[in-house]
Copies of this chain bind each other. A is one copy, B any other.
Amino acid sequence: MKRKKLPFILSLATVFLLSGTETSGAKEHPCLILTKSGVEEAQRILGKAPLFDSTLEEIRAEIDGVVSLPIEVPFPKDAGGGYTHERHKKNYMQMYHAGILYQIYKDKKYALFIEKMLKEYAGLYPSLPLHPVQKSKYRGKLFWQGLNECVWLVHASQAYDCVYDFLSAQDRKYIEENLFYPMVEFISEDNHETFNKIHNHGTWAVAGVGMIGYVMNDNDMVQRALLGSDKKGDTGFLRQMDMLFSPDGYFTEGPYYQRYSLQPFIVFGQAIQNNEPERDIFAYRDSILTKAVNTSLQLAYTDGQFFHLNDALDKTWHSIELVYGVDIAYSVTKDAGLLAIAEEQGRVVLGDAGLSVAKALQDNQKQPYLLKTSLIRDGSEGNEGGIGVLRIGDRKDQTCVVFKATAQGMGHGHFDKLSISFYDNGKEILQDYGAARFLNIEPKNGGHYLPENDTWAKQTIAHNTLVVDESSNYGGKLEVAEKYAPTITKFTDRDNYKLVAATESNAYPGVTMSRTVVLVKLKEIGNPIVIDYFTASSETEHQYDLPFYFMGQLMHTDFQYQAFSEFREPLGKDNGYQHIWKEAMGKSEKSSASMTFLNGNRFYTITTLTTPDTELFLNRIGANDPDFNLRNEPAFMLRERTKNKIFLSVIEPHGEFNPREEYTAQPYSAIQNIGLSPDKNSIQITTVNQEKIMVAIR
């Protein structure tokens, strides 16, 4: 499968290249996210759109507390989480907020605060060497990572825009020559590789450069941001819009980074729209920007928590990036479901888009936001696998299984082909571990990714998917992994029956893996259940391991095991196995095995087909972790040594544990056993009431 052939998309960018208009003449300020007409509108309806008012009040309280304090622009020294890092982050946020306040209230104290701070930065910046912390390959000057420098510029350009007319021509000249031009040079020339990269680092870079370009009315700078350093369009923002999202609006690094990368896309998109409306940027590539916002929301569970795919940490759609995303998407599409999310977010963008959201909410235009069963394709052409999200139930009690059969997802991707995660009853039940990182916590490796992110979190065994011969997909090699993607073979979305299937034959040479996941609600069984049909076929014998990282306390198993109660050893030596404690090991004497655990107030049983050779493990994360970087959470794992193997399992939520009312209902599974039909097209489930149910799995 080749990934680089994109003639159609190239031609789209070319059209834009030709139609790119010259910006010229005097410019109105502000002109980026907040515009002059937006300011007038905001002043007109002040006090009449509560969410806008409360967001504004919040930043006014913050800024009024600091405008009269001494400005601190420290010489850069610390990594993420350290003092100078946090100070420079605070500074750009405060300037950004002060700019909005100045525009709306026209109180000079806010403008003077920004003037003073920008001058301090202008005094410091020209003399700055590269940041002394050398942990990142992409170093900044103010920050240890060039990425943060671009984020600084995205915010500072908006602050500068807001006080542009306030500043004297002489001050503007001083600030532009000593701060913005050198910073743009640093970002776009010294680091031209990143600037021209089709990567979210590149997006932040072009957004910063393009936005300050609009403010300074420097058309050449804007052109380079839109079309790349050489202005030919094979890099730059438009090309990123072509390449970084699939046709379904999926960003290949996964939801956590999709959220992060969304901000420069949507913010710069809004700035382009306001400065060059003739580009109609929000219509570009079949409205890819607003599509990406919606896809981002669809990659979350009912509480707004994004699925923990790839290098993910806990983030919800309440995060600031999605505030930008939802507000700007609403202002473009007027999709009333987005208002429900905006209301939950509890704040709006203090710009034209946020105003439109706050007004619409005040006018009671909100509709429920629907989380849907969907297949979201990966790859810029949509042919590099995808994510299947199967859901039954509304946001109050939804059963949801996430099936990840995407491309690798660049540097933040995990070796997790065909893995699943499972949510129910408002909680994560079968977890994807996500990243091993404590973001911004200095004592934990400077807040950066931990070594265990590579040795554990990225490895195949850290996921709810098949591991062959204790090794990771593609030998754990990124450059190999990037060549391939699984193939989605089926997707069905009917009432009470949802199915997604995919196959992958490159992750392990000589082994073809296929997985079909069905989410089905049966009248004989109360809650929706997941049917998980995983096959591995090979001409040679292999060790096949299939773990389920369940969240909760083990209640019961219907098989005997030997518990390693008095000493404990790791499960293996390498590829993540060294981080797993082997807690118990057993076999089933029947043709199936089941284990039940409790999570919150609901029970879950995994019932799986077994043979006399199937080994059943109870494991726990945490071995070889001398710095206590990992979460010590459990797993149930199936193992068998053979050529061709079918793992057939059912994951069943059941019963209720109610400690407040002190009752417990159905703590045991409703399923007595399971079997595969001879043609392998269906599963037969026998309930404890001796009902027999056939469910198609193909």
Task: Give chain A's interface residues, CB within 8 Å of chain B.
Answer: 81, 86, 89-90, 313-316, 318-320, 438-444, 447, 553-556, 563, 565-570, 581, 583-584, 596, 598, 618, 620, 623-628, 631-632, 657, 659-665, 667-668
Contacts and interface: CB of A to CB of B under 8 A. Distances in A.
B567 A569 contact: yes
Contacts of A627: 563
A620 B632 contact: yes
Contact of A664 (B314, B441, B620, B626): B441
10 contacts: A81-B667, A438-B598, A441-B598, A441-B667, A442-B664, A443-B667, A554-B628, A563-B625, A565-B626, A566-B623
Contacts of A442: 664, 667-668
A508 to B, nearest CB: 27
B663 A86 contact: yes
Nearest to A573: B566
Contacts of A553: 438, 628, 631
Q: What are the nearest 10 A-B pairs in CB distance?
A: A563-B626, A568-B568, A443-B556, A554-B628, A440-B664, A81-B664, A565-B624, A443-B555, A565-B626, A441-B664
B565 A659 contact: no
Contacts of A583: 628
Given A441-B657, A569-B567, A626-B563, A663 B555 contact: no
B556 A664 contact: no
B444 A565 contact: no
Contacts of A566: 569-570, 623-624
Nearest to A578: B566
A659 B628 contact: no
Contact of A660 (B318, B660, B667): B318
Contacts of A668: 442-443
A442 B596 CA distance: 12
A81 B631 CA distance: 32
Given A86-B663, A320-B661, A565-B624, 17 more contacts: A90-B663, A314-B659, A316-B660, A438-B553, A442-B664, A442-B668, A443-B596, A443-B667, A553-B628, A563-B625, A565-B623, A565-B625, A565-B626, A566-B623, A566-B624, A567-B568, A568-B623
Number of copies: 2
A659 B313 contact: yes
Contacts of A623: 565-566, 568
A653 to B, nearest CB: 16
Given A438-B598, A667-B81, A628 B624 contact: no
A439 B564 CA distance: 26
Nearest to A658: B440
A599 to B, nearest CB: 13
Contacts of A598: 438, 441
Contacts of A568: 567-569, 581, 623
Of A316, A447, A584, A663, chain B has the most CB atoms within 10 Å of the CB of A663
A579 to B, nearest CB: 9
Q: Which of A570, A628, A661 has the most CB of B within 10 A?
A: A628
Contacts of A444: 555-556
A86 B438 CA distance: 45
B632 A628 contact: no
Contacts of A661: 320
Contacts of A313: 659
For A570, A667, A668, the residue with the greatest tally of chain B CB atoms inside 10 Å of its CB is: A667
Nearest to A620: B632
A618 B628 CA distance: 10
Contacts of A618: 628
A554 B627 CA distance: 8
Contacts of A555: 438, 441, 443-444
A137 B443 CA distance: 54
A585 to B, nearest CB: 12
A558 to B, nearest CB: 10
Contacts of A316: 660
A313 B570 CA distance: 33
A626 B584 CA distance: 8
A439 B438 CA distance: 35
A563 B554 CA distance: 27
A593 to B, nearest CB: 15
Contacts of A565: 623-626
A346 to B, nearest CB: 11
Contacts of A86: 663-665
A577 to B, nearest CB: 12
A618 to B, nearest CB: 7
Contacts of A438: 553, 555, 598, 657
A541 to B, nearest CB: 29
Contacts of A441: 555, 598, 657, 664, 667
Contacts of A624: 565-566
A180 B508 CA distance: 72
Contacts of A657: 438, 440-441
A401 to B, nearest CB: 25
Contact of A447 (B315, B569, B570, B664): B664
Contacts of A89: 663
Contact of A663 (B440, B443, B556, B659): B440
A660 B347 CA distance: 13
A569 B565 CA distance: 9
A438 B320 CA distance: 40
A598 B86 CA distance: 19
A86 B556 CA distance: 20
Contacts of A443: 555-556, 596, 667-668
A624 B584 CA distance: 12
A566 to B, nearest CB: 6
Nearest to A597: B628
A291 to B, nearest CB: 25
Contact of A439 (B447, B569, B570, B659): B659
A565 B627 CA distance: 10
Contacts of A596: 443
B626 A439 contact: no
Q: Which of A315, A555, A569 has the most B CB atoms < 10 Å from its CB?
A: A555
A575 B296 CA distance: 53
